[in-house]
Structure 1
Amino acid sequence: MVSSVFFGAALSASLAAAYAPGLELVYSLDRATQGIAISADGRKFLSQRYSLTAAPQAVELLNDNTTRLYPNAAWNSYNASDNSSDPYETFVSIDGARIGPDGRYWLVDGGSSGLNGSTKLVGVNLSNDTVDKIYHLDNIIASDSGIDDVRFNAAAEVAYLSDTAGALVVLNMTSGTGVRVLVDDPSAVAWFPMMYNGTLVPGYQGADSTLAVGLDQIEVSPDGTWLYYQPCNGGLYKIETSLVDASLTNSTLAATLGDYAIPVALTPSTGGTTIDGDGNIYFSDTNLLAIWKVTPEGRATILVQDDALIWTDLMWVTADKKLWLPASQMRPGADGLMAQGPNNIFTFPIDAGPSPIDHA
C-alpha cells in the first residue's frame, strides 16, 4: 500500500483561513493526483500519472487513508524497458478515469505512439474489482492521436473519447466499432497555446515552443441531449448527441459533424471539467488558478479562485453537493511539467448534486 495523509476536521478547520472561503482541504497525498471518482457507496478512486520517473497508476483510497493499486498490481505493472510487459493488459499511460452510468470504473489508457494494444478503454466491475470490458482503439485512432478522456450517452451504449490531436472518437459499446469525427474542425483544434499562472505553457519542441492541446474536455448534459466539448485552451461547443451517435453509421454525417457545432461559452485554458445534475459545467482555469461555472445557457462566472488550485484536473460531484477538486500540480518548469507537492484534494460547496447519467 502507498501511504497518504488525511487532514481531519480539526486540522482542516485550522487551515481553512489559508484558503478561499468554502474551499476545504480534505486530502494531502504522497503522489500527484490527476483525478478522483467516487462510487455511489462512497469508494474513492484516484488516477495518479503526473510523474516523469514513476509509471502512471490507478489506486483506491481506503478508509484508513492508505491507497492500494487498482484493480490490482498487475494492471499497474507496465514497464517500457521490460519486454515481458503486455500493453494489452496493463496501463501504459492513464489519462481520463471515471465511474460511468453503468457503474463501472472506466479508465482511458492513452497508450504510447506505435505501441500496439496500448491505447484502450478499460472497464472495471466494482462488484468484484476485476476488468471485464476492454476496447482496443488501434483501428480507430490516427498515428498522432492522444486519447485523453471519456463520457457516455444516456443509454451507456456509446462512449465519447476526446482526441487531443483535434478530434472526437465515437465508440459503439456493443460492437466495439468506432469512428473518428470532428477531425481538424475549428471547434476541435487548439487556437492558442495553454496558459499557466499568467504565462504560456512551454512545449516539447525546444526553446520558444509552446503547448497547444486540441479537443480534450467533454461532458454530456444530464438529460443526454447535448455533448459538450472544447480544446484545452478553451472555447466550449455543443452538438446534439443524436447526431454524434448517428455518425457511427452515417459516413456523410460523420464527415460534416462540425457543421452542427454550436458555440456555448468562451472558457479559459482548462485542466479538467465535470458537470452537475442541473447541467452546470465546472472548468478548472490553469491560468488564473480558479474554477469556473458555466450554466446551460452559457453564462460563465468564476466560482472560486485560490493559488492552491494548481492545474486542477478530473473533478467530481457528490450527492452532498460538493465539488471535489484534485490539484494535480502539473505546471511549467518543475521537472518537465511536474511539481513536487503538496498534492492536495479539495472540496467546494455547490448548489446541485451529480448528473444522473454521468455519476453512477
Structure 2
Amino acid sequence: MSSLLHTGAILAASISTASALAAGLTLEYSLEKATQGISISASGRKFLSQRYSTTLPPIAVELLADNTTALYPNAAWNSYNASDPSSDPSRQFVSIDGARIGPDGRYWLVDGGSSGVNMSAKLVGVNLANDTVDKIYYVDAFKGDDTNIDDVRFNPNTGVAYLSDTAGALIVLNMTTGDGVRVLVDDPTAVAYFPMMYNHTLVPGYGSDTLAVGLDQIEVSPDGQYLYYQPCNGGLWKIETALVDATLTNATLAATLGDHATAVALTPSTGGSTIDADGNLYFSDTNLLAVWKVTPDGYASILVQDDALVWTDLMWVTSDKKLWLPASQMRPGGDGLMADGPNNIYSYPIDAGPSPIDHA
C-alpha cells in the first residue's frame, strides 16, 4: 500500500451543515477532492475514486482510519503522464471511470483509457488481501474506436462481466477466457435520445454542444436473472442475462439483442446507480438533485431530495442498510463539467442490505 498521504483531505462535518439536510440524510465525509464513487469492503475498508477536475488526473485512494487518504493500490498505478514516454498505459490508470468492489472481493477499476493509446482501456482487479493488481482485462479488441467504457457489473453465477459503453453499447466479457463482444450497438435502448439535465437546465458539453451520454448505468438483479441498463438521460430497460451471456458465442443473438429488451421505468437524467438485496434500484437525479428508488416491478419514486446531492455518482449499499451517496460536484461549465466543493459523501437509510451477488 502506498504511504503517500493527502493530509487534510477530510474536514470535520459541522453540526450546522448536518442539521440543514433532508431528514435521514447524514454527512459522513467532507473531502478536499471531488469524489466520484465509494466502495466499502466487508471488513470496512473504504475506497474512493476521485475524478472530476479539468486540471488533475483521476485517482483511486483508500480512506484511512485517521481520515487521510493514500493512493491505491499504490502511487505507481496513479502516476500516468501522457507527456512522459516512460509512462505505461497498460500498467497505470489513464482515465478511471467506474470503480467498485465486486462479488469476488476484489476492488475493480474501469479505466476508460484514451483514444489511440493502446492497452489503456482495461478492467483492473486489485486483490484486497495483499493490495496488488492480480487481474487485468484489456478491452481494445472489442470496444469501438471512439467509445468509452464507463462502468462494470458482474454475474458470478456465470463468470461474466458487463461493461457500459457510453457511445451506446454494452461489452460482455467472459472473465475466464478474456473473450468479449460488443452488443446493443446503436440500439434505441442504449443510445442517448435526449441531452442530460442538470439543476433544471440542459447540460452543456465540452464546447457549445449539450451533453448526451449513451448506455452508462448497469445493474444485475440479485438472482442473476436480469441485466438492467439505461443511457445517462434515463429510460431503464432489462434483458435476461442468459440471453446477454449467450451473445459471447451466438453472433445472430448478439446482433439482435435489443429485440429482447423490456422497458422498466422512465428514469431521470442519472449520474450513478446501485441495487439492493430486494432488487430495488437506486438512481441519482442530476436534474432535481435527488435519488430515485425503482422497485423490481417498475414503481418509481423519489427517495430523498436535497440541494447537497449535486451529481451523485457511484453509490454503495452496506450491510447495515445504508445507501452511501458521493456527491461528485460535477457542474456544467463553459469548458465542460467542473468540480466545485464542498465535496461530500452522505448516507441514507434504506430497507435492505447489498445484493448477495453484487459485492462482497
**TM-score scaled to structure 2, two decimals?**
0.97
Shift of 1:335: 5.9
1:7 aligns with 2:22: no
Q: Is the 8 A contact 1:148 1:161 kept in 2?
A: yes
Distance across 1 between alignment mates of 2:317 and 2:175: 25
Which residue identity lines up with residue 219 of structure 1 in the other structure? E
Q: Report the equivalent of 2:220.
A: 220
2:83 aligned to which of 74, 81, 84: 81
Which residue identity lines up with residue 173 of structure 1 in the other structure? M
- Structure 2 residue matching 1:338: 3-state secondary structure: strand
Shift of 1:15: 3.1
1:275 aligns with 2:312: no
Once the two structures are superposed, what CA deviation does each residue of 1:276-314 show, in whole Å capped at 9, x if it has no partner? Answer: 000000000000000000000000000000011000000
Q: Report the equivalent of 2:44.
A: 42
Within a 5 Å distance, the mapping from 1:240-259 to structure 2 comes to 240-259=240-259
Q: Is the 8 A contact 1:238 1:263 kept in 2?
A: yes
Q: Is the 8 A contact 1:140 1:178 kept in 2?
A: yes
The answer for unaligned runs of 5 or more in structure 1 is none
Distance across 1 between alignment mates of 2:154 and 2:263: 21
Of 243-252 and 331-340, deviating more is 331-340
1:110 aligns with 2:112: yes
Once the two structures are superposed, what CA deviation does each residue of 1:193-221 show, in whole Å capped at 9, x if it has no partner? Answer: 001001100122x43x1110000000000
Q: Is the 8 A contact 1:102 1:156 kept in 2?
A: no
Q: Is the 8 A contact 1:6 1:26 kept in 2?
A: no
Q: Report the equivalent of 1:265.
A: 265
Distance across 2 between alignment mates of 1:140 and 1:245: 15
Within a 5 Å distance, the mapping from 1:322-337 to structure 2 comes to 322-333=322-333, 336-337=336-337
Once the two structures are superposed, what CA deviation does each residue of 1:174-209 show, in whole Å capped at 9, x if it has no partner? Answer: 1101000000000000000001001100122x43x1
Distance across 1 between alignment mates of 2:235 and 2:129: 38
Percent of counterpart pairs with the same letter?
78
Shift of 1:156: 5.9
Q: Report the equivalent of 1:128.
A: 130
Which residue identity lines up with residue 2 of structure 1 in the other structure? H
Q: Is the 8 A contact 2:39 2:101 kept in 1?
A: yes
Distance across 2 between alignment mates of 1:19 and 1:290: 12
1:192 aligns with 2:197: no
Distance across 1 between alignment mates of 2:68 and 2:146: 37
Within a 5 Å distance, the mapping from 1:26-41 to structure 2 comes to 26-41=28-43
Distance across 2 between alignment mates of 1:200 and 1:85: 37
Q: Report the equivalent of 2:178.
A: 176
Q: Is the 8 A contact 2:204 2:334 kept in 1?
A: no
Q: Is the 8 A contact 2:204 2:336 kept in 1?
A: no
Distance across 2 between alignment mates of 1:16 and 1:67: 23
Within a 5 Å distance, the mapping from 1:15-26 to structure 2 comes to 15-26=17-28
The answer for unaligned runs of 5 or more in structure 2 is none
Q: Report the equivalent of 2:230.
A: 230
Which residue identity lines up with residue 357 of structure 1 in the other structure? I
Q: Report the equivalent of 2:308.
A: 308
Shift of 1:54: 1.0
Of 150-159 and 81-90, deviating more is 150-159
Pairwise CA RMSD of aligned residues? 1.1
Distance across 1 between alignment mates of 2:296 and 2:235: 15
Shift of 1:57: 0.3
Distance across 2 between alignment mates of 1:17 and 1:105: 34
1:202 aligned to which of 201, 204, 229: 204
Q: 1:281/1:128 Cα in 2 relative to 1: closer, same or farther (>3 Å)?
A: same
Q: Is the 8 A contact 1:213 1:233 kept in 2?
A: yes
Distance across 2 between alignment mates of 1:264 and 1:328: 27
Which residue identity lines up with residue 89 of structure 2 in the other structure? P
Which residue identity lines up with residue 125 of structure 1 in the other structure? N
1:351 aligns with 2:351: yes
Shift of 1:109: 0.0
